[in-house]
């Protein structure tokens, strides 16, 4: 379970305040979506949770299963079960995808006090997961993300997510958005990984992703706060009417 309380964040070495008291609880096994106009602080929230540099937390807390994330190094957050997708779609020429994945998985296992997987054990697990996610194992032999299409990068990221076995997955669609095929892939991957124990926070500017990933709860974020929370129907309201009405009701200029 992720419990964010009164989270205030500003840019480091600048006066700009971005998050102005975020309160959000994602219960175990649930899928929560955050929607909101551009610039409302959605990506900042995901970066701060994952421990990216450049932000200063001035107040509040973020507990993952009772542990304070904000005091942990990024690697420790990952070991605690947090996974942020779509953050670094890096290309690593010369490093095979399989090697990259195995290194990441074993670093994580070590941090969790588990034994490392042998090459054979790893191969077995990765093949199983690839099969579940309908990913061609051929992709595993190529260098990380080099020459991958947008869809292949997304597929690869979903596979990384599956291999690291996070309990709390944050997906930030980012402003560039996904094309319809990539969106489908992401949605299918998330749905395949939903198991009643793993939680998801799906951040999206548009409603369409939520046609495929059915959220339990939808939040609207604006001006650094969650201003409204509802069920899946809230996403449909936003799709039809835009944000104007909700923003106006909260005295926020568009
Ligand atoms: P969203 O993801 O909802 O579009 P962001 O979290 O990307 O919003 O940005 C929130 C606000 O903070 C925006 O006004 C953005 O310009 C500003 N911001 C975020 N990160 C930085 C940064 N590193 N430098 C300057 N401004 C930033
Ligand atoms: Mg933005
Ligand atoms: Mg964003």
Q: Which atom of ligand 1 is nearest to the CA of 44?
A: 6
For residue 11, the cross-strand partners are 55
On whether residue 254 sits in a domain, the answer given is: no
Structure confidence at residue 35 (pLDDT): 95
Q: What is the pLDDT of residues 81-140, one digit of tens each?
A: 999 886 556 667 777 888 888 988 998 898 889 999 999 999 999 999 988 888 887 778
What is the domain range of residue 131?
A: 2-249
How many domains are contained in the chain? 1
Q: What CATH number did the domain enclosing 111 receive?
A: 3.40.50.300
Helix axes 150-164, 97-111, angle to 10 degrees: 30
User: Complex ipTM, two decimals?
Assistant: 0.96
On whether residue 33 sits in a domain, the answer given is: yes
Q: How far apart are the first and last CA of the chain?
A: 32
Q: d(Cα 136, Cα 121) in Å, to the nearest integer?
A: 19
Cα of 176 vs centre of ligand 2, distance in Å, is 9
Cα of 121 vs centre of ligand 1, distance in Å, is 42
This prediction has a pTM of: 0.91
Q: In 3-state terms, what secondary structure has residue 194?
A: coil
Is residue 44 within 6 Å of ligand 1 at its C-beta?
A: yes
Q: Distances in Å between the alpha carbon of 32 and those of 50, 181, 203, 238? A: 17, 22, 9, 16
Residue 21 contacts residue 13 (beta carbons within 8 Å): no
């Amino acid at each position: 379970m992720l419990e964010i309380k009164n989270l205030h964040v500003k840019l480091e070495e600048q006066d700009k305040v971005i998050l102005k008291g975020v309160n959000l609880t994602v219960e175990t096994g649930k899928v929560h979506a955050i929607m909101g106009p551009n610039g409302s602080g959605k990506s900042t929230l995901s970066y701060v949770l994952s421990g990216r540099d450049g932000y200063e937390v001035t107040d509040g807390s973020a507990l993952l299963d009772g542990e304070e994330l904000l005091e942990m190094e990024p690697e420790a957050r990952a070991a605690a079960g947090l996974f942020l997708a779509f953050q670094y779609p890096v290309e690593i020429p010369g490093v095979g995808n399989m090697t990259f994945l195995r290194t990441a998985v074993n670093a994580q296992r070590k941090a969790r006090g588990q034994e490392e997987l042998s090459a054979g054990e790893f191969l077995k697990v990765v093949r199983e997961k690839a099969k579940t996610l309908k990913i061609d194992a051929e992709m595993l032999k190529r260098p990380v993300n080099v020459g991958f299409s947008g869809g292949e990068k997304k597929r690869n990221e979903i596979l990384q997510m599956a291999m690291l076995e996070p309990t709390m997955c944050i997906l930030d669609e980012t402003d560039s958005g996904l094309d319809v095929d990539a969106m489908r892939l992401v949605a299918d991957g998330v749905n395949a990984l939903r198991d009643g124990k793993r939680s998801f926070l799906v951040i999206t500017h548009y409603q369409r992703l939520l046609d495929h990933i059915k959220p339990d709860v939808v939040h609207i974020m604006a001006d650094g706060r969650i201003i409204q929370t509802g069920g899946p129907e809230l996403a449909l309201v936003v799709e039809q009417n835009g944000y104007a009405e909700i923003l106006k009701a909260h005295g926020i200029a568009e």
